[in-house]
Amino acid sequence: MIEVHRLVKRFGLKTVLRGLDFQVAQGEFVALLGPNGAGKTTFLRILASLSRPSLGEVRIAGYRLPEQAVAVRRRLGVVSHLPLLYGDLTAEENLHFYGRMYGVPGLEKRVAEVLELVGLSARRRDLVRTFSRGMQQRLAIGRAVLHDPEVVLFDEPHTGLDQDACTMLDAVLKEVAARGRTVVMTSHDLARAADLASRFDVLSRGQIRGSVRRGEIQPDELLGFYRQALAQD
Amino acid sequence: MIPVADQRALEVGERQAVRENQLAGFLRALSAVVWKDLSAELRSRELLSAMVVFALLVILVFNFALDLDPATRRQSNITSGVLWVIFTFAGTLGLNRSMAVEKDRGCIDGLLLAPVDRSAIYFGKVLANLIFMLVVEAIVLPVYSLLYNVNLFQAGLLLVTLLGSIGYVAVGTLLATMAVHARTRDVLLPILLFPVVLPVVLSAVKGSTGFLDGLPLNEIRPWLNLLGAYDIIFLAVAFMVFDYVVEE
Amino acid sequence: MEAKPRLLTVLDYITAALFLIAVGLVFLYAPLEAVMGNVQRVFYFHVAAGWVGMLSFLVAAIAGVAYLLRGNRKWDTVGLSAVEIGIVFAFINIVTGSIWARPIWNTWWTWDPRLTTATVMELIYIAYLMLRQGIEDPDRRARFGAVYAIVGFLSVPLTFYSARLFRTIHPVVIGTNDPNAQGQFNMTPKMLQTFMFSLLTFTFIFADLLWHRIRVGRLSEKVEQVRLKTLQ
């Protein structure tokens, strides 16, 4: 579903991603781990078609980025750490807007479905700027899956959330993943990632330094694996 | 098996459907952006109230700064000049705010993620910004008319104001999209915009003066032509360049 | 490090020689103008500087288009260099225009089309630099610079045309029958020769400075590259 070969990304003269290789099969839930500045957000932005690769090949659902970006975007849902929502509109209006941008058929019904999915039906008529961070994040996920994408990208979705909000978020994440969708999630939170993902990749200094499947190690060994991957040169 | 001739017809039909789909998608996205901006503004009214209050304050300042006797004050060139100074400065306020909303909450990414042509976003923004500017003008013109006893409701003058606003907003939206990335964003937009939008302001003022003075259409036409040419040229240029401005 | 190309050194010498000759022509060869006197000699440098100002803008706009289409950073360096040179020469144009205007029209400044357009050009140049200064990401900086150079370049003829619809008192040297244009003078052949030579000289100066500035830009990028390598 996602294929990345020798991806290089430069900002001016600085190279952030150095020949990165990455493959994700359909239905996998990959947690992308790594220290700050490793290039996780840059990588995710490239996958999200928001940023252009400097060199290398990126394919999502068979379509090439950046040439066939429009086709990719139709099948892609993205949640970043910024909510990407309009504070002065209600939850419903936000979803309506994005639904129209994506050309979602049967919009009314779909919006109601999604609000139900993320547990915000009761607050549909409230302005987003009155929402807590957790609620905004859940609505953001709703926005991301409104058009029923095959691939969903999450950039550190748990940032700024308290325990309860995290638990609610995880429930939604699992629900989203359950429909056979392909998910890539960057995270700092190893414990949560261990709970959600089916595969763990470590991104450090512009390349993937290690990859392991859920069944291959015990949950408490994940930290050790992570440290080891970082220690490699 | 579909006969070959029918197959080709099918392809043509499909291609036609795709083209129509693209246009429909484009218009749908454009109207969605306009609707979104107008709805949000209707609710908060922050932008419009800022622009309107600012415009009224500028009228006030001009009243005392240019301490003119009533006869001079009602001269057409003074009127046109003051009006366009107001529109120019209030316009920058609106443009800045409109793009800042997108940038600050990362919403511009939300727009860029949509599977639509980028230019739909540009034209949507231009239309929304134009509507805001026209609303402000619709408030300022009557107020000015009342205060200074000049009739500003002539078709010619309204036409000039519309053409001028289009040109202003077309370039302003493009430049505001860039300026919003800079650290000095609020100050930068006027610095970028004013030298480039001078032909619009100049033509609009002269055109307005012409209509207020009741000059024959022949004499005013060069100004109208210039405004029209500017609008078309810069809408076209912005359409071509917008992709490069929003990409990364 | 790149050595300075031989051709550039040759260009330096040629440019310097041309400039000396031009100065000689302006002060010794060209005749004294009947009405305005010696101050008219400023004209040769004034127009040539204005010409370079416009040429720089054209180069910057073309470099902008090239950068957007190709994505090669060297076009960005060319554009920036052209703007920096343009700022200086547009300024020379304005100042020499002022020097010329004062004794003739008894004013330091007039809002006539050419002077207005020159000022607007200068302001767009400065705005270009301020835009670049405010952007962190080098690629975005280059892209925005390219876009603004194009937009600015397209607006200048429109500004000129709109300013010209106003009345002018600027001397229209290159032939016009506008009775309102004061301060006109006809050029004798010697004046014409001096004038053309000045234009040529200033074009060479432009090319020479542009090449030097592009070199400086490339070298500073190399330095930056080496610095980043040692950091990583």
The angle at the Cα of A8, spanning A3 to A11, to the nearest 5 degrees, equals 135
**Quick one: tokens of B172?**
């302003």
- From B137, B132, B171, select the one nearest B56 (Cα to Cα): B137
Q: A21 to chain C, minimum CA–CA distance in Å?
A: 21
Q: Tell me which H or E stretch contains A55.
A: strand A55-60
Q: How confident is the model at residue B134 (pLDDT cuts 50, 70, 90)?
A: very high
Q: Do B40 and A89 touch (CB under 8 A)?
A: yes
Cβ contacts of C131 on chain B, cutoff 8 Å: 178-179, 182, 188, 192
Nearest residue, CB atoms, A74 vs list B40, B110, B115? B115
User: Which pLDDT does position C1 carry in this prediction?
Assistant: 55
Residues of A with CB under 8 A from a CB of B: 45, 48-52, 70-71, 73-74, 76, 78, 80, 82-89, 93, 97-98, 100-103, 127, 143
The 10 Å Cβ neighbour count of residue B73 is 18
Q: Do C143 and B199 touch (CB under 8 A)?
A: no
Which comes out higher in pLDDT, residue A16 or B22? A16
Q: A197 to chain B, minimum CA–CA distance in Å?
A: 25
For the segment A144-166, the average pLDDT, to the nearest whole number, is 87
- If you average pLDDT over every residue of chain A, what do you get? 87
φ and ψ at C2, to 5 degrees? -70, 135
Model confidence pLDDT, tens digit, residues A52-109: 898 889 999 888 888 888 888 989 999 987 888 988 899 999 999 999 999 888 889 9
Handedness of CA B213, B214, B219, B222 (dihedral sign): positive
**Quick one: tokens of C218?**
């490339």
Model confidence pLDDT, tens digit, residues A158-200: 888 888 888 888 888 888 888 888 999 998 778 888 888 888 8
- CA dist list (Å): B112 to A23, A78, C186: 25, 11, 59
pTM above 0.95, yes or no: no
User: How far apart (Å, rounded) are the C-alpha atoms in residues C44 and A210?
Assistant: 70
Considering the domain boundaries, does residue C26 fall inside one? Answer: no
Q: How confident is the model at residue B6 (pLDDT cuts 50, 70, 90)?
A: low
- The CB-based long-range contact list for B66-72 (8 Å cut-off, 24+ gap) reads B70/B148, B70/B149
Q: Is the pLDDT of residue C175 over 50?
A: no
Residue C138 forms contact with A (CB below 8 Å): yes
Q: Is the pLDDT of residue B4 over 60?
A: no
Q: Is the pLDDT of residue C44 over 80?
A: yes
CA atoms within 13 A of residue C217's CA, in its CB half-sphere: 18
Handedness of CA A189, A191, A197, A203 (dihedral sign): positive
Considering the domain boundaries, does residue C11 fall inside one? Answer: no
Q: How confident is the model at residue C193 (pLDDT cuts 50, 70, 90)?
A: confident
What ipTM was assigned to the predicted interfaces of this complex?
0.86
**Structural domains counted in chain C:** 1
Among B97-106, B151-160, C102-111, name the one with the lowest average pLDDT.
C102-111
Which comes out higher in pLDDT, residue C66 or A223? C66
With tokens 């554009």, the residue in question is C79
Q: Do B105 and A45 touch (CB under 8 A)?
A: no
Q: How confident is the model at residue A217 (pLDDT cuts 50, 70, 90)?
A: confident
φ and ψ at C14, to 5 degrees? -60, -45
Nearest residue, CB atoms, A84 vs list B101, B109, B116? B109
Considering the domain boundaries, does residue C8 fall inside one? Answer: no
User: Which pLDDT does position B13 carry in this prediction?
Assistant: 54
Taking CA–CA distances from C226, the nearest residue in chain A reads A13
User: Which pLDDT does position B18 carry in this prediction?
Assistant: 65
User: Which pLDDT does position C177 carry in this prediction?
Assistant: 41
User: Which pLDDT does position B2 carry in this prediction?
Assistant: 47
Q: How confident is the model at residue B16 (pLDDT cuts 50, 70, 90)?
A: low
- Domain encompassing residue C62: 39-231
Model confidence pLDDT, tens digit, residues C16-39: 988 888 888 888 877 777 777 777
For the segment B133-151, the average pLDDT, to the nearest whole number, is 89
Taking CA–CA distances from C142, the nearest residue in chain A reads A12
Touching partners of C (3+ C-beta pairs < 8 Å): A, B
- CA dist list (Å): C195 to C26, C30, C64, C199: 8, 9, 31, 6
Considering the domain boundaries, does residue C196 fall inside one? Answer: yes
Considering the domain boundaries, does residue C180 fall inside one? Answer: yes
Considering the domain boundaries, does residue C4 fall inside one? Answer: no
User: How far apart (Å, rounded) are the C-alpha atoms in residues B45 and B92?
Assistant: 17
The angle at the Cα of A33, spanning A28 to A37, to the nearest 5 degrees, equals 135
Sheet holding A55-60, edge to edge: A14-24, A2-11, A55-60, A63-65
Q: A214 to chain B, minimum CA–CA distance in Å?
A: 31
For the segment C127-141, the average pLDDT, to the nearest whole number, is 92
Q: How confident is the model at residue C167 (pLDDT cuts 50, 70, 90)?
A: low
Nearest residue, CB atoms, A82 vs list B36, B41, B106? B106
Cβ contacts of C139 on chain A, cutoff 8 Å: 11-12
Considering the domain boundaries, does residue C9 fall inside one? Answer: no
Q: How confident is the model at residue C75 (pLDDT cuts 50, 70, 90)?
A: very high
User: Which pLDDT does position A158 carry in this prediction?
Assistant: 85
Among A140-154, C20-34, C51-65, name the one with the lowest average pLDDT.
C20-34
Considering the domain boundaries, does residue C12 fall inside one? Answer: no
Taking CA–CA distances from C228, the nearest residue in chain A reads A14
Q: How confident is the model at residue C170 (pLDDT cuts 50, 70, 90)?
A: very low
Size of interface A-C (CB pairs under 8 A): 12
Q: How confident is the model at residue B178 (pLDDT cuts 50, 70, 90)?
A: very high
Q: Do A11 and C138 touch (CB under 8 A)?
A: yes
Among A180-189, B169-178, C178-187, name the one with the lowest average pLDDT.
C178-187
Beta-bridge partner residues of A31: A185, A200
User: How far apart (Å, rounded) are the C-alpha atoms in residues C138 and B5?
Assistant: 54
User: Which pLDDT does position C179 carry in this prediction?
Assistant: 38
Q: Is the pLDDT of residue C169 over 50?
A: no
